[in-house]
Copies of this chain bind each other. A is one copy, B any other.
Amino acid sequence: MLEQTAAQLRAEGRRVGAARRQVIEALADRACAVTAEGLAAGLPGVHVSSVYRTLAVLEDLGAVRHVHLGHGPALWELTHAGDGRHLVCEHCGRHLVVPADLFADLERRLADEHGFVVDRGHFALTGRCTACHDEP
């Protein structure tokens, strides 16, 4: 993962310094999506702004993507972590991932009927999870 991404970066004339390497490794280690702040916190000596910059580079390489959930910070994950869609409970904050094919029909109809090609999974859908169904 590191080596392959690093090679991709170098092929574009970019370099792979300490911060960049650590961010990639940290993302690869993670089972699930993280905030930029969260990544930085786990990497002492790596500044948040470097994390954001690295994530931006990796994003236009196509190696990572980010999702906005509710009103907080965005979450970042490797793209090959699968392409599930994110749901977030606006009550308890719980965050779940569902198969993208649930969205396939909708996306096809939006494309066919409205000429609109959805940027897959850039936003989480907000709502209520089973547990918080009838909370205030």
Contacts and interface: CB of A to CB of B under 8 A. Distances in A.
Interface residues of A, number: 29
A115 interface: yes
B118 A126 contact: yes
Count identical subunits in the complex. 2
Contact of A116 (B103, B116, B129): B129
A3 interface: no
A86 to B, nearest CB: 11
The 7 A-B pairs at the shortest CB distance, nearest first, are namely A115-B130, A118-B127, A123-B123, A119-B127, A119-B126, A122-B126, A117-B128
Interface of A: 68, 87, 89-90, 96, 98, 102-103, 105-106, 109-110, 113-119, 122-130, 133
